[in-house]
Amino acid sequence: MSEDHTARPEVTPVGNGSPPSRLALRRVLIDTWHENVAYMHRDCEVYRAEGFKALSKVEVRSNGRSVLATLNVVDDVKLVACGELGLSKSAFAQLDVADGHTVTVAQAEPPASIGALHRKLGGERLGQEDFRAIVHDISAHHYSKIELTAFVVATHRDELDREEVYFLTQAMVEAGARLDWHEPLVVDKHCIGGIPGNRTSMLVVPIVAAHGMLCPKTSSRAITSPAGTADTMEVLAEVELPIERLQQIVQQHRGCLAWGGTAQLSPADDVLISVERPLALDAPGQMVASILSKKIAAGSSHLVLDIPIGPTAKVRSMPEAQRLRRLFEYVARRMKLALDVVITDGRQPIGQGIGPVLEARDVMRVLENDPHAPMDLRQKALRLAGRMLEADPDVRGGDGYAIARDILDSGRALQKMNEIIDSQGRRPFDHHHPALGRLSFDVPARGTGVVSGIDNLQLARIARLAGAPKVPEAGVDLLRKLGETVRDGEPLYRVHASYPADLEFARQACARSSGYQIGRAEDVPHAYVEF
């Protein structure tokens, strides 16, 4: 960050219809994620003349571009001096000008949709144009964090009806880019989340692509989980691809496994997530709109949706799963998306590893038909891939699983995965000897008996405390699963970390709760599955 403050433009105070004030732009190296933030010194003449207030919205313009940002007031000239306007990294990138360039700054007009937001806060039902206006303002960063929070809380408190969910989904699709693959059949698969180690997408995509079906998988990074599909795939290959390159890879290899952030698909969703996740709010309506808007924007015509059920999953009962299924099906039907909802076993983590490197190891073992590969990950991936293959009119209903198994067993899925990895940009990785965190400890069983319960949330929490996903080598390696017999003192799982502080945080969490219950065989919870 430069501290040269010699070249400063003249400050033009604004008042009573005067033009916006001119300041020198400064890039402030603060990652504010999806929020545009502006920084102005308290003693700046413009700050005083304009009557700016902290956390108010300002409009920054230069060369025909404009950015709306939340104003932070600073007292340190080393950060931003008088005569300068600082912008956070994301806001600076949007303006696309050089450091020191002259910009104008003025009070931003209130979002046009603020009236609709207030009506929703009052408990009113909103119409299609209301949601279009709100989503447009969210996508354009017109809302402050406070206003975003108000919208998220309002839609959570007064649950959206199914028509409102449709309006929200449609508005989120319209607000971003939309891919067109110029093919009638474009398939995808998605899980609503909450199950650690559930990396079935990295197996389903190469299986389905090897069959010849188009499967462009754009995935998210982890926000509160130990790894997202993009985080795990990044162990093997580059995932941040320009949209043009992503399209070339998909056309050539029939599939990809990339991060969806570069494609600007449903940008409002990325902004809303930045508020939803810290608040731990995941209202059904918001979930449906988030998932379906991104899949439709990605050009999918057919979607297989995985809803896991379990005592510590997002969905904990069959009636709850059926309600969610009906909502997904209603909106998908209105959006002309063919949807196949599958209810799966969410009683425990899938696979053996939790964390990017460990999950990448599991995936490659399954693809290589390694005898040490986790059988639950293999079976679930085959079942989901089978359901996707049955969208092919040439595949007879019920034959999908057998076709998927043949593709995996023959090595065609592995070959396809290697093609995708090479095309995206291979990274060095030896799944036979994965580079795990240099520090580790085992968590022993407290008593003799049968593993009768595994807490998904606690295991995910421990893996994150150990450093995942920011430290890909960190995580949890499971040594026992549901129904297995253990003796007192035998290890249940191993925690890997790269830094002593992370290791200690994870150790303390394990001491509070291992996440495992040891009981009798009859204590193991019933599995709700539709395979």
260 has pLDDT over 60: yes
Give me the pLDDT at residue 405, please.
98
Which pLDDT band holds residue 344 (cuts at 50, 70, 90)? very high
Query: Quick one: DSSP state of residue 118?
Result: H
Give me the pLDDT at residue 11, please.
39
Query: Does 282 participate in catalysis according to the annotation?
Result: yes
Q: What is the pLDDT of residues 347-403, one digit of tens each?
A: 999 999 999 999 999 999 999 999 999 999 999 999 999 999 999 999 998 999 999
- For β-strands 187-191 and 302-309, DSSP reports them as parallel
Q: What is the pLDDT of residues 427-441, one digit of tens each?
A: 999 999 999 999 999
Give me the pLDDT at residue 19, please.
57
Q: Which of 43, 99, 180, 282 is catalytic?
A: 282
Give me the pLDDT at residue 20, please.
63
269 has pLDDT over 80: yes
7 has pLDDT over 70: no
**517, β-bridge pairs:** 453
Give me the pLDDT at residue 9, please.
40
- Both tokens of 516, joined, read 């495992």
3-state secondary structure 399-441: CHHHHHHHHHHCCHHHHHHHHHHHHHCECCCCCCCCCCCCEEE
Phi, psi angle pair for 484, to nearest 5°: -80, 145
Query: Quick one: DSSP state of residue 395?
Result: S
In the chain, ranges of CATH 2.40.40.20 domains = 21-107
* Domain range 439-523, CATH architecture: Alpha-Beta Complex (3.90)
- For β-strands 84-87 and 21-27, DSSP reports them as parallel
204 has pLDDT over 50: yes
- Percent of all residues in the chain with a pLDDT value above 90, rounded to a whole number: 79
1 has pLDDT over 50: no
Question: Mean pLDDT over all residues of the chain?
Answer: 92
How far are the Cα atoms of 156, 345, 434 from residue 438, in angstroms, in the given order?
Answer: 43, 33, 11
- Mean pLDDT confidence for 483-500: 98
CATH of the structural domain 21-107, one choice from 2.40.40.20, 2.70.160.11, 3.40.50.300, 3.90.79.10: 2.40.40.20
In the chain, ranges of CATH 3.40.1030.10 domains = 187-284+294-302+349-424
CB neighbourhood size of 396 (10 A): 10
Q: Between 108 and 454, where is the model more confident?
A: 454
Q: What is the pLDDT of residues 231-255, one digit of tens each?
A: 999 999 999 999 899 999 999 999 9
Sign (positive or negative) of CA dihedral 200, 203, 207, 208: positive
- Which of 101, 83, 78 is CA-nearest to residue 28? 78
| Distance between CA atoms of residues 461 and 407, nearest Å | 35
| Distance between CA atoms of residues 264 and 331, nearest Å | 22
pTM here is: 0.88
Q: Between 223 and 327, where is the model more confident?
A: 327
- Mean pLDDT confidence for 175-188: 94
- Which of 327, 279, 278 is CA-nearest to residue 159? 327
Give me the pLDDT at residue 531, please.
58
Length of the chain: 531
Which pLDDT band holds residue 3 (cuts at 50, 70, 90)? very low
CATH numeric code, 187-284+294-302+349-424: 3.40.1030.10
Give me the pLDDT at residue 290, please.
92
CB neighbourhood size of 512 (10 A): 10
Give me the pLDDT at residue 4, please.
43
Q: What is the pLDDT of residues 84-140, one digit of tens each?
A: 999 999 899 989 899 999 999 999 889 999 999 999 999 999 999 999 999 999 998
Give me the pLDDT at residue 446, please.
95
* Coil/strand/helix, residue 455: coil
